[in-house]
Every structure is written in structure tokens, then in C-alpha cells.
A and B are shown apart, each in its own frame.
Chain A
Amino acid sequence: MHIPENYLSPVSCAVMGAAMIPVWIHAVRKTNKEMPKEKIPLLGAGAAFSFLAMMFNVPLVGGTTGHAVGGTLIALLFGPNAACLAVSVALLLQALIFGDGGILAFGANCFNMAFILPYVGYGVYRLIKGRGQAGNARTYLAAAIGAYVGINAAALCCSIEFGLQPMLFKDAAGNALYCPYDLSIAIPAMMIPHLAVAGVVEAVFTVAVYALVRKTSPDLTYERIRSDEPEDGKKNRLPIFALIAVLIAACPLGLLAAGTAWGEWGADEIAEVITKGKTLGYTPAGLEKGWSLNVPMPDYALEGMNEVVAYILSAIIGVALLVILFKLLSLAMKGRRKAA
């Protein structure tokens, strides 16, 4: 779901970026108010979950690949505002270091995965779970449906952003300048795989990790963070970090999914992509001559390197950087004072 560089026109990128600015401001303010200062470093662990989830590519119907995002999970653990920040930072890291998602398209990617996903996912979760104390089964069901709806809402936004491009930006010959597929192709191409596979993966991932956290560190759920209840002593962070370690070790499984995610082809690939039985036949001008940044590790690997090892090392570096970043952020942010 990461929109690469030059698939969106610069104007669309600017609009999406501008739309994100008030969201980020709101998210930072609310997080400052809601989160106790000592919990902010743990947000780094949440961002790490999201980062790792995005590395697990699963093969989808139609020869493309997709991945979970984990935005709803972070929203369940730390609240949608903190989730917005965590996913944004994870996306920034991916764009700057690993070339996953464009720098110009950063605003659009954040809009889909850091804004729509956690807020919709958490909203649906609250709706199903209801106000009062809910049983375990209902809570997990609510989490699963929230995650499923959240990632699909994000995919829908993403496909609409793709689909609007050929309608708005064309050259003299009628060829699209940027993404060449209009709404009638982009929406089914994005939505069918996400409804069928990626949504389920996201729901399973969310419920599994959420259940683990509720069992081992019950103080780390958004409901508990918001309420001023005194903390009971029962918490054990070790399983969370052990799970991160296991995910890092297992992430080369994401390499098994061959093929490129829909809408993430390189400029050399796109002319050959088969849609409705025929290839596109040309490379959109904006893609061919577009701006691109030489990132240190494109696609989580370096040339002439063992792919698996490079993938694992990328995961370690990414997770470490996220944890360090949020630890530094926790110093800069004021955080909520503990209720006296």
C-alpha cells in the first residue's frame, strides 16, 4: 500500500501533505495530554510492530503482494493519536532509508496508513465493543473487525488516490502522466486482494499481538492508559520484546511472496503489467522522468548481498532506530503528569 515516488502528481502529493499537517498537530497535542511520559518510549515498540508487519509481504490474488500495517493494533494499545504518530515515523523511516514509499508521496501514505487506518480501526472497535466492560470474546472480535475494516478503508483511500490520477493528469496524446489506471481498475485491483487476504492477515496479527499484550502487560492498553487507575504490579515487558525478536528472525518469510505489490512497480516494470488481458504498452512520462531519491538501502537490500541476511539486518536496524527515536521523543514531549 506504499505509494511510490511519481505515481501521484506533485499537486496531489502537496494536497495530501497539507491535509496531514493538522492531523499531526492534533495527534501530537493529544498524545502529549493522554500518554504518561514514561510510556512514550514503549510507543517505539508499537512502531516496531508496525514496521515489522509491513515487512511481511503476503502473496495476494492476481500476482501482487500486500502486507499488514498494524495501525489498529497500536491504536488499541496506545490510542489512535499515538498510533498516527508511530505509523508516521515508521513510514518516514521506510521512505528515507529503505525506499519503501516515496518521499513526495509521504503525505499520501501517512493519510492512508497513519490517519485513516488507526482512526477508522479504533472507531469500529469502540463501536462493537460498546461502552461498558466487555468480555474477552467480544473484545477480540471487536479488535479483529476493527483491524479488518481499518486496513480496507486505508486500501480504498489509496486506490482512490491512484484512480484519480489518470482522470486529472494527461499529456497531449491522452496517455496518463502518473498512475495510468483509473478508478474502475484501481479500486477492484486494490480492494479485492485486501478484502480477501491482507485484511484477514491484519486482523489475525492484531488479535494475536493484542492478546499477548493484554495477558503479559495489562497496563499497556489504551483504556488503561486513559483511566487514572493505579497500576497493579503485574506486568512483564519481556514477552513483547521477545515477540519483536521472533518477528525480526522470521521476517525473511516476507521475501517468499514473489511479485510486486499493486501500484508499486518500478518505471521499468510498469509497461509490461497486464491489466484486463493487455499490457499498458507505454511508460507514463511522469514516472520515466520523475524525481527520485537515492536511498541507502532500496527494497531493504543492497546490491550483491544475500537477500535474507540483508532483510533481517534491515529489520534490526529499523526496529532499533524506531526505539531510539521514540526514546528521544519521550524526552522532548511533556507527557501527562501522573494523577496524584
Chain B
Amino acid sequence: MIPAWLKTEERIAPPRDGGAFALRSIKSLGGVMARLRVQRGRNGRLRIPPLVKLLLLLALIVTLSLARHLLLLLAIAALILGYAATLPPRDLVSILRPAAGAALLALLLFLPAMLMHPAGRMNNLIVVGKIFLSVIAVNCFNRRTQWNELTRALRRLHIPGVFIFVLDLTLKYIVLLGGLIVDLLTARELRAVGRDRKKYRSVGGVLGVTFLRSTELSRETWEAMCCRGFTDDYKGL
């Protein structure tokens, strides 16, 4: 038997809960962090050793930033765009979106200079183009190389093991902690009904919990590694 109070229809329209810019930005930041899957890179049909790829990328970026002759710039542009054109459409979106963002930001930064000194406009535009191409090149590399291969390549370059270890762990933790932030804020949202005037109090809470969790995680990792006989030498995942 359903009690009578359950049968009456209630319409609760909680007042719109606006604001809390800080909370929303932390949440979106966490979302981005959680989505940062560094293992997404895939190898194409043509397998170039990751070390060679890394060196090529570095050489390309250094040449690109030093290039003053327009012909050289054009050649690099043709190389990078030609390579990008061979990638599948889905990869292209994730390569071009950050590149476009970076170029747009650079353009915005240059805008006052370009308006005040029209003579230097061409140079400024070249810098914007260089930024666009560099970001595309790095992203292409990212999409086409698996992360563990990259750390192995770094190891071959005699970069200290500790450095690579920290890099590896950092990337892992960014994903883990990003997920944690999103979870915490979602839980908070679900529990809050209606207008909440004390929202900003939870900002500190969320960040504090995240910090505590990160120290806990690092301690646990360290202990686990010691238990498995870690000898301070790290060869990459």
C-alpha cells in the first residue's frame, strides 16, 4: 500500500544556482586532466624508431624557430602539412585544435603590436605561423608515438633515470588526480539542492583533499616500489 503522501505530485523547482566560477573552472580543469591520456599514441604503418623520431622532431623545431629565409619556412610548412595530411581524420582534429588555439593566442598577443607597427606585421604573422606549425609537429609526434616508447627513447639519450621516472609518474598522477577532482565535485553537486551560498568554502576543501590524496599516493607508490626491490635505476615502462 502506497502511503498517501507519496501519491501527491510535488513540483520542486529549485532556484537556479548560478555563480561559483571557481568551482566550475576547477571541475573543467579536472576534466581536462582526467582526459589527458598519454598512452593514446598509435604507430602508423611506417615504423620509425622512436629515438629517431624524437631527434627529427627536435631538429625540425629548432630549424623552424631559427629559420629566417622564407623558402626554408615554406619547405618546413610543406613537410609538416604533407605529413599531417596522411593521418586519419580523428587524429587530425586532436592535432589541429590545440595548434589553432596556440596560433590564435599568439595572434591575440601580437595584435597590439601589429596595430601600432604595421611595418612589422609580416614578421609577426611569420611567428604566428611558426607557432602553428611547431604545435602541429609536436602533436603529430604525440599521436604517432606511444608514451613508453618515448621514455625509452629519452633513456637512450642518457637522460637521468630519476628524471624520466618523475615524468612518468607525474603524467600518471595528473590523470588520477584529475579524475579525483571531477569525482569530488560531482559528489558535492549531487548532494547540494537549491541555492548554495557557501559554495566557495568547498574550493579549499577539494584542493586540500586532492593534495592529501596525492601525498598518500606517492608514499604508497614509493613503499610498493621498495617492496619490489627498486634500486634507484629506472629503465622506462
- How many of chain B's residues touch chain A, expressed as a range? 10 to 19
Task: Kindly state whether residue A305 has any CB partner on chain B within 8 Å.
Answer: yes
Contact A316 B82 (CB under 8 A): yes
Contact B89 A331 (CB under 8 A): yes
Interface residues of A in 308-340 (CB under 8 A from B): 309-310, 313-314, 316-317, 319-321, 323-324, 327-328, 330-331
Task: Kindly state whether residue A41 has any CB partner on chain B within 8 Å.
Answer: yes
Task: Kindly state whether residue B192 has any CB partner on chain A within 8 Å.
Answer: no
Contact A320 B78 (CB under 8 A): yes
Chain A minimum-CB-distance residue to B78: A316
Contact B70 A302 (CB under 8 A): yes
Contact B89 A321 (CB under 8 A): no
* CB proximity of B126 to chain A, nearest CB, Å: 9
Task: Kindly state whether residue B71 has any CB partner on chain A within 8 Å.
Answer: yes
Q: Kindly state the separation between the CA atoms of A188 and B16 in the bound complex, as whole angstroms.
A: 71
Task: Kindly state whether residue B176 has any CB partner on chain A within 8 Å.
Answer: no
Q: Kindly state the separation between the CA atoms of A319 and B75 in the bound complex, as whole angstroms.
A: 14
Contact A327 B92 (CB under 8 A): yes
A328's contact among B82, B93, B125, by CB below 8 Å, is which?
A: B93
Q: Kindly state the separation between the CA atoms of A327 and B92 in the bound complex, as whole angstroms.
A: 8
Report if A317-B74 is in contact (Cβ < 8 Å); known contacts: A324-B96, A328-B93, A331-B90.
Answer: yes
Contact A328 B75 (CB under 8 A): no
A316 partner residues in chain B, CB cutoff 8 A: 78, 81-82
Chain B CB count within 10 A is highest, among A297, A305, A309, A327, for A327
Task: Kindly state whether residue B84 has any CB partner on chain A within 8 Å.
Answer: yes
A297 partner residues in chain B, CB cutoff 8 A: 74
A304 partner residues in chain B, CB cutoff 8 A: 70
Task: Kindly state whether residue A184 has any CB partner on chain B within 8 Å.
Answer: no
B82 partner residues in chain A, CB cutoff 8 A: 316-317, 319-320
Chain B minimum-CB-distance residue to A306: B71
Could you tell me the dominant secondary structure of chain B's interface residues? helix
Contact A324 B74 (CB under 8 A): no
Q: Kindly state the separation between the CA atoms of A199 and B78 in the bound complex, as whole angstroms.
A: 31
Report if A317-B78 is in contact (Cβ < 8 Å); known contacts: A305-B70, A324-B84.
Answer: yes
Chain B minimum-CB-distance residue to A38: B89
A331 partner residues in chain B, CB cutoff 8 A: 89-90, 93
Task: Kindly state whether residue B22 has any CB partner on chain A within 8 Å.
Answer: no
Report if A309-B92 is in contact (Cβ < 8 Å); known contacts: A316-B81, A319-B85, A320-B84.
Answer: no
Contact string, A215-241, partner B, CB cutoff 8 A, digits 1/0? 000000000000000000000000000
A302 partner residues in chain B, CB cutoff 8 A: 70-71, 74
* Given A41-B89, A310-B71; 7 other pairs, CB 8 A cutoff: A304-B70, A309-B75, A313-B74, A321-B81, A324-B81, A324-B85, A327-B85
- Could you list 20 A-B pairs, sorted by A, with CB under 8 Å? A296-B125, A297-B74, A309-B71, A309-B75, A313-B71, A313-B77, A316-B81, A317-B74, A317-B77, A317-B78, A317-B81, A319-B82, A319-B85, A320-B78, A320-B81, A320-B82, A324-B81, A324-B85, A330-B89, A331-B89
The 10 closest A-B pairs by CB, nearest first: A320-B81, A316-B78, A327-B89, A323-B85, A320-B85, A313-B74, A320-B82, A313-B78, A302-B70, A331-B89
Give the interface of A toward B (CB within 8 A): 41, 296-297, 302, 304-306, 309-310, 313-314, 316-317, 319-321, 323-324, 327-328, 330-331
